[in-house]
Chain A
Amino acid sequence: TQLLEQSPQFLSIQEGENLTVYCNSSSVFSSLQWYRQEPGEGPVLLVTVVTGGEVKKLKRLTFQFGDARKDSSLHITAAQTGDTGLYLCAGADTGFQKLVFGTGTRLLVSP
């Protein structure tokens, strides 16, 4: 069974701080995706990383895929209250379709 462990589970920070969320597995994935989920809604895709060592930036968010394609990180610079939510990583075997979701990181950014 493939497992994706995220750390930390919960993070409470002040606006303007930086943070990093980690997503680790013992399994290799063909791709890894990061989602953000608001309460009572479905997850929204933030990014897909495919190549080992790949780094993608989305405004204040930086995503990295590990060289061995087993782990990933999400770094947020100068967090804003709008970044509050549940961050989920999800690994895919082939075809980007069947996803295994990570355990989740709940982020709370206070003004």
Chain B
Amino acid sequence: GAVVSQHPSRVICKSGTSVKIECRSLDFQATTMFWYRQFPKQSLMLMATSNEGSKATYEQGVEKDKFLINHASLTLSTLTVTSAHPEDSSFYICSAPLPQGETQYFGPGTRLLVL
């Protein structure tokens, strides 16, 4: 079946550094991917929509200059957390819908800890 992978699965970084998270659709092409953030014991909050070949669309309250999204190919989207701070520590999850749109597959998530 369709699989979405994320790399790395967990990362620890120092405050002020940048961290890149990759999201790949392994056996299907995804012109759109979604990035979510999930804080402990909370639900998923949509951060942005990643669009292949065009700029990402950010949800209200999400800083586009801080969370850089690049949809480099039909199977890869990257989220870069720039100048990370401890409050950016969270579980970041991506998803990709199948081309026909009805089913969406989620990655396993990336746990970011900023010290």
Q: How many residues of B contact A (CB 8 A)?
A: 26
Question: Which residues from chain A contact B91 at a C-beta distance below 8 Å?
Answer: 40
Chain A residues within 8 Å of B, Cβ to Cβ? 33, 35, 40-45, 48, 88, 90, 95-104, 106
Subset of 11 A-B contacts with CB under 8 Å: A40-B111, A42-B93, A45-B104, A48-B103, A96-B104, A97-B34, A97-B101, A99-B34, A101-B43, A104-B43, A106-B41
A-B contact count (CB 8 A): 57
**In the complex, residue of chain B having the shortest beta-carbon distance to the beta carbon of A97:** B97
A48-B103, A101-B43 provided; 12 other pairs, C-beta below 8 A?
A: A40-B91, A41-B109, A42-B108, A45-B103, A96-B97, A97-B32, A97-B34, A97-B104, A98-B34, A99-B104, A103-B43, A104-B43
Q: How far is the CA of A106 from the CA of B91 in the complex (A)?
A: 17
B5 to chain A, nearest CB (A): 10
Are A42 and B106 interface neighbours, CB within 8 A?
yes
| CB-based contact B44/A101 at 8 Å | yes
Which of chain B's residues has its CB closest to A42's CB? B106
Asked if B62 lies at the interface with its beta carbon under 8 angstroms from chain A, I say: no
Q: Could you list which residues of chain B lie within 8 angstroms of chain A, going by C-beta atoms?
A: 4, 6, 32, 34, 36, 41-46, 49, 91, 93, 95, 97, 101-109, 111
Task: Name B46's contact: one of A35, A48, A98, A102 (CB within 8 Å).
Answer: A98
Q: Which of A41, A43, A96 has the most CB of B within 10 A?
A: A43
The answer, among A42, A48, A98, for a CB contact under 8 Å with B109, is: A42
Whether A98 and B43, one on each chain, are in contact in the complex, defined by CB atoms closer than 8 angstroms, is no
Tell me, rounded to whole Å, the shortest Cβ–Cβ distance linking B41 to chain A. 8
Whole-angstrom distance between the alpha carbons of A101 and B43 in the complex?
7
What CA separation (Å) do A25 and B43 show in the bound complex? Answer: 15
Residues of A within 8 A of B41 (CB): 106
Complex Cα distance, B104 from A32, in Å, reads 12
Closest residue of A by beta carbon distance from B9: A40
- Alpha-carbon separation in the docked complex, A100 to B97 (Å): 14
Min Cβ gap B92→A in Å is 10
Query: In the bound complex, what is the Cα–Cα distance between A106 and B2 (angstroms)?
Result: 27
**Contact B108–A99 (Cβ < 8 Å):** no
Residues of A within 8 A of B32 (CB): 97
